[in-house]
A and B are shown apart, each in its own frame.
Chain A
Amino acid sequence: MSKRLIDLQHITKSFDGQTVLDDLSLYIRENEFLTLLGPSGCGKTTTLRIIGGFERPDAGRVVFDGQDITDLAPNERQLNTVFQKYALFPHMTIAENIAFGLKIKKKSKAYIEDKIKYALKLVNLDGFEKRGVDSLSGGQQQRIAIARAIVNEPKVLLLDEPLGALDLKLRQDMQYELIRLKNELGITFVYVTHDQEEALTMSDTVVVMNQGYIQQIGTPQDIYNEPTNAFVADFIGESNIIDGIMQRDRLVRILGVDFPCVDEGFGSNVPVDVVIRPEDVELVAPEDGMISGDVTSLVFKGVHWEMEVLAHGYEWLVQATQMRPVGSHVGIRVDPFNIQIMNKPESNDEKAVETDA
């Protein structure tokens, strides 16, 4: 395990009396690609801006490489930011933009020239030195913003929704580009996005946030397969989240029917949230299902069909490669391994989830 590079300790921040972050603690390891993921207003950008030094926390410390940097200005920190709207200097050429940080550090001319060449090559824009900012497309500006940041050899690169303004195709290309860059540079990336697909594709670690609280930290696989609460389950991909009652270990009652599952230790007769991913719902003949219902809608999505099945008063979202026409009577089966049991919200941070949902 590599060492902790950034340590956020009990960070609290509020704007105009509104708490945005409440006692948030988080560490980021060296060479990690960590993504802060959450809906707008969840505090992810504020967290990033506190790391970058653009906001000062009301309480708590920011420790970087063993040194407390809470009170350092952004220009005194060894990290660089790629801004959401690029924030290129409009009155400078591309080369001047990239050279900006190096000139402040009083690097030699030859060194700067080399660095500009190297950086432009890295972002696949060789020969753009003399161009003006206005002549570039959004995607190109984004690459220049990255080049401008990385020539300073920061230990950490902070990226604030850098792909937010690009169109879908470009966004997907840039995702692979960023992974490649990260591997080539061998530095830490802290990435902010509200796009769960981006987060799952690129990250080593995903931090799911909501209303100023961290909901879950884990690998993309963890987050997707084993969400810790209904908010995460709902935010990452689509899910059926159903009220259930834990009968005893490995048996849960949903919509009046007992389903075998693999979870233990919830006690008996305890209300819980049950999460079932739509692709884990199997449609079978009515007599073979655990419960049965009627297909109410059918949409073709390319790789699969998406259906809604009304069974025992709940609209089940189902993704399957075989379609069932609207109105047909079907049975529903769920493998015990694919049933996720979660406690109902109790603790403070989970309540935040409740008010949101």
Chain B
Amino acid sequence: MRKIRGLKRQLLAGPYLVWIAAFTLLPLMVILYYAFTTTSGHPTLLNVTSIFASVHFKSLLLSLELAFLCTAACLLLSYPLALALSSLKTKRQGFIVFIFILPMWMNFMLRILAWKMLLSNNGVINMVLEAVGLPALDVMNTPFAVVFCMIYDFLPFMALPIYNSMSRIDKGILEAAQDLGAGRATTFFRIILPLTAPGAVSGTIMVFVPALTSFAISDLLGGGKVLLIGNVIEQAFIQEYNWNLGSGLSLVLMVFVIASMALMNSRGDEGGVGIC
């Protein structure tokens, strides 16, 4: 009787299993199919190996470089931020943390728009620089502008899981470290850092993957001059209609995403993905 009831309840997952098959697994098969065939349907490895073509390879390297830079910057910015937030009185903490996640929930495109406006050559930042007599920046359409915007876009994804794991640390543990003679630096490196590692790992995944695969930011702030692997793939589909090439490169990108996640997950948890 019990068994039957259990089985009946399992059936509730049925619609989702069908959905997974149709819209998650099947599309991956299709992408595999396109990746390993020519436009006329013959099997080939060229779509995948074309990642080694110099243009593609360059853009992959640039993507990796910018993603690393962005992730590193987010890590470096997030730790002091999390420390500062946890040093606040608990009563006010909730509200201030709220303020710091809010921008994350504003439309992704609008955040890009805001930076485009600030950074553009006749934009607000240059106006301020001119007003105080400094030379204008010419960062628009450079990798610098792209990384800057990525950091702005993805910082909350790093700060939040780190803050979450930091706020889970028992205050007694920090006091115990101090009691045993640890100064601020020792407490940070020997206690706080290891205990927030899971948060940093999920934050790293949540920043690195979108930074590596983004194409909109580089398209809008790079002015066609900053070609990331995402842009190459997008162009293959939208401009060149070469779906096979696009699929092949997407597959390579997926391998990188999975590899970076496997690398990080070997020591992380999945706890930090939540919102608050």
**Which A positions have Cβ atoms within 8 angstroms of B?**
52-54, 73-75, 80-81, 83-91, 100-101, 104-105, 145, 148-149, 152
Kindly name the residue among A52, A53, A89, A152 whose own CB sees the greatest number of chain B CB atoms within 10 A.
A89
B179–A80 touching, CB < 8 Å: yes
8 A-B pairs within 8 Å (CB atoms) are namely A52-B179, A54-B175, A73-B183, A81-B179, A85-B172, A91-B195, A100-B182, A148-B180
Q: How far is the CA of A148 from the CA of B170 in the complex (A)?
A: 17
- In the complex, per-residue mask of B174-189: 1 if CB is within 8 Å of any chain A CB, else 0: 0111111111001000
List the A side residues contacting B183 at CB < 8 Å: 73, 75
- What separation, in Å, do the CA atoms of A116 and B75 have in the docked complex? 36
Q: Are A75 and B173 in contact (CB under 8 A)?
A: no
In the complex, which residue of chain B has the Cβ closest to the Cβ of A76?
B181
Q: B194 interface residue, CB < 8 Å from A?
A: yes
Given the complex, which residues of A lie within 8 Å of B191, measured CB to CB?
Answer: 89
| Residue total for B at the interface (Cβ-Cβ under 8 A) | 17
Q: List the B side residues contacting A80 at CB < 8 Å.
A: 179-180
Q: Contacts A104-B180, A104-B186 given; indicate if A74 touches B175 (C-beta within 8 A).
A: yes
Other-chain residue from A73, A84, A87 in contact with B173 (beta carbon distance below 8 A): A87
Q: B190 contacts the other chain (Cβ, under 8 Å)?
A: yes
For B173, the closest partner residue in chain A by CB is A87
Q: How far is the CA of A306 from the CA of B98 in the complex (A)?
A: 58
**A-contacting residues of B (Cβ < 8 Å)?**
170, 172-173, 175-183, 186, 190-191, 194-195
**In the complex, how many angstroms separate the beta carbon of B33 from the nearest chain A beta carbon?**
46
Bound-state CA distance A105–B157 (Å) is: 38
Q: How far is the CB of B252 from chain A (nearest CB, A)?
A: 36
Contact among B170, B172, B177 with A100 in the assembled complex (CB-CB below 8 Å) = B177
B176 neighbours in A (Cβ, 8 Å): 81, 83, 87-89, 145, 148
Are the C-beta atoms of A87 and B180 separated by less than 8 Å?
no
Interface residue SS majority, chain B: helix
Given contacts A81-B176, A91-B195, A104-B186, 19 further A-B contacts (CB under 8 A): A53-B178, A54-B178, A74-B175, A75-B178, A75-B179, A75-B180, A75-B183, A81-B179, A83-B176, A84-B172, A85-B170, A85-B172, A86-B172, A87-B176, A100-B177, A101-B180, A104-B182, A105-B181, A152-B181
| B179 contacts across to A, CB distance below 8 A | 52, 54, 74-75, 80-81, 149
Q: Is the interface of A mostly helix, strand, loop or mixed?
A: loop
**Of all chain B residues, which has the CB nearest A91?**
B194
Residues on B with beta carbons closer than 8 Å to the beta carbon of A100: 177, 180, 182, 190
Known: A75-B182, A104-B182. A89 touches B172 (CB 8 A): no
Chain B min CB distance to A309 (Å): 47
| Nearest CB in chain A to that of B174: its residue | A87
- Taking a contact as CB atoms under 8 Å apart, the answer to whether B170 and A74 are in contact is no
Q: Which 5 A-B pairs have the closest CB atoms?
A: A101-B180, A87-B172, A87-B176, A74-B178, A104-B181
Which single residue of chain A is at the shortest CB-CB distance from B194?
A91
Q: Which residues of chain B are within 8 angstroms of A149 by Cβ–Cβ distance?
A: 179-180
What CA separation (Å) do A101 and B195 show in the bound complex? 18
Per the bound structure, the CA–CA distance linking A83 and B178 in Å amounts to: 12
CB neighbours (8 Å) of A91 from chain B are: 194-195
Known: A75-B183, A104-B186. A89 touches B175 (CB 8 A): no
Q: Which residues of A contact B175 (CB under 8 A)?
A: 54, 74, 81, 83, 87
Complex Cα distance, B187 from A74, in Å, reads: 12
Residue of B nearest to A148 (CB): B180
